[in-house]
Amino acid sequence: MVAGRIRLCVLASGLAPLLLPVAAPAQAAAATGLARNAEAKPDARRWNAAWTDWRGLSFDSSLPIEARAPDTGSSPFDLDEVRFSGLLGGRLEIDGAAYTTGGSLTGFDDGFDLRRARVTLKGAGKLTLPFGYSVELDYSPGSFNVTEAYLSFPTLLDFGDLQFGQFTPPVGLQTFTSSWDIGFMEPAAPLTALVPQPQPGAQLTGTHGDRRGSWAIGAYVGLRSDGQYGSSGQGVGSTMGRATWLAVDAIEPQRPRENRLLHLGASGVLQFAADGEIRYRSRPESHNAPYVIDTGTIAATRAGTLGLEMLWVDARFSAQGEVMLSRVEDASGQTLRFGGLYAQASWYLTGESRPYDTAQGKPGRLVPRSNFGFGPGAGWGALEAGARVSYTDLEDGSVQGGRLAMLMTTLNWYLRPQLKLAFELGTGRVAGKPLDGNGRLVVGQLRLGTYFY
């Protein structure tokens, strides 16, 4: 891989190339208000674009502005400049899986398939006020989704960042974390069943306690979505929130292999609808497999979901667990209760420690101590071994969606931060479905994934 940069620059004579780092999606903001007769300084316009290794295509443009109030004779009002920067990248993952089933389980097909092909554009800008933006388009076989499309305004309010558009609701640790960073190919079944899918809305986010904790709260519009996982709903307005706290905070930025932390968190969902629909369902933690537990569509008037989360990191070892409980009131007045939990542990055989994002209260992106290769300074990358147990119950009252118990083991090989190979071996049992679809299964699966951003 050529470790250089290809630069395309259109610059005025005498100006050096400028490449700004891309801001996080929740950092920046937008507004209007330039005078109609704003005059640009033509000799100071800048445009810079570059492809850097695995980082994707980054770009930056700026236009210094001098705006004058019309016909007033007043002094110039300096708005500094209009600026727009970003990073265009993507992600590609291929899955292969083989299954052995018993009982009446059907619909499991062995083979390879595209897991996701994703294009991402993220960045920041300034137009009177700073703004941030993110657009993420995701395709998997049979499903095309806009997983993110939002603007954020970090300086508009003193106590938090304002964000509106389409994004992942702040519910559940494992689903709020990027699927690249959760340690397994898929989130645990209780979260894929009960946590809402990405949807449009508006939310406020921030930190507290000198960044030892994070919080988020927002309102969302319930629109039916064909997402990759997550509960679905239609005609259901939602209020969702999440709060986290580092009960133990011994994060060592200069010595990340010595990190030690205890993360505690809680999240909740309140859904209201006069005539809404809610559906919970889950695959057996393998995307190539069919749904094995499913409540079907429930005509619901109200629903609430509560999640509790914990993450412990001690150098190379980490442990994590969550409990999810949901209560649904259907149109007939019946109260239904569903829930689940999981626990997992992992160990970095090559000495890394699980990173942590204090701004959002979740695990961060792993950087191996050395990238895989054969030249000077190269190594084996990072190896992570882990195991997870989970249990999901979608049975109550007249709804017999079934119960799923899973045990999954994993071995992840991070050849470099942007290239990963994962292998998983697991077993599970489906029970409680009144007619068919009960039995045991064994799954072996692998994934090759890469991203540029």
Report domain extents, the chain: 5-452
Q: Of 81-85, 231-235, 335-339, give the lowest mean pLDDT range.
A: 231-235
Q: Which one has a higher pLDDT value, 66 or 283?
A: 283
Beta-strand ranges (E) seen in 107-142 are 111-127, 129-140
| Terminal-residue alpha carbon distance, the chain | 16
* pTM (two decimals): 0.83
Q: Of 2-6, 66-70, 87-91, 362-366, give the lowest mean pLDDT range.
A: 2-6
Q: Which residues, listed in sequence order, are joined to residue 6 by a DSSP beta bridge? A: 51
For residue 222, the model assigns a pLDDT of 67
Give Cβ neighbours of residue 142 (< 8 Å, ≥ 6 apart).
none
Express each pLDDT in 103-116 by its tens digit: 999 999 999 999 99
| Residue 445 to residue 439: CA distance in whole angstroms | 19
Provide CATH code, domain 5-452.
Answer: 2.40.160.10
Q: Are 258 and 156 in contact (CB under 8 A)?
A: no
For residue 285, the model assigns a pLDDT of 97
**Burial of 16 by CB count in 10 Å (0-12 exposed, 13-18 middle, 19+ buried)?**
exposed
Q: Which of 48-57, 117-126, 426-435 has the highest mean pLDDT?
A: 117-126
- CB-side neighbour CA atoms (13 Å) of 74: 10
For residue 76, the model assigns a pLDDT of 38
Q: Flag whether pLDDT at 19 surpasses 70.
A: no
Q: How many Cβ atoms are within 10 Å of 7's Cβ, its own excluded? A: 12
Q: Are 323 and 283 in contact (CB under 8 A)?
A: no
Average pLDDT over residues 110-135: 92
For residue 62, the model assigns a pLDDT of 83
Express each pLDDT in 407-424 by its tens digit: 999 999 999 999 999 999
Instruction: Quote the tokens at residue 39.
Output: 């005059």
Q: Flag whether pLDDT at 236 surpasses 80.
A: no
For residue 21, the model assigns a pLDDT of 36
User: What mean pLDDT is reported for the chain?
Assistant: 84
Burial per residue of 286-299, b for 16 or more beta-carbon CB atoms within 10 angstroms, e otherwise: bbbbebbbbbeebe
**Burial of 9 by CB count in 10 Å (0-12 exposed, 13-18 middle, 19+ buried)?**
middle
Q: Flag whether pLDDT at 233 surpasses 90.
A: no
User: Within its chain, how far is the Cα of 276 from the centroid?
Assistant: 26
| Residue 415 to residue 381: CA distance in whole angstroms | 5
For residue 41, the model assigns a pLDDT of 47
Average pLDDT over residues 324-345: 94
Give the model's confidence band at 225: pLDDT under 50 very low, under 70 low, under 90 confident, else very high. low
Q: Flag whether pLDDT at 328 surpasses 90.
A: yes
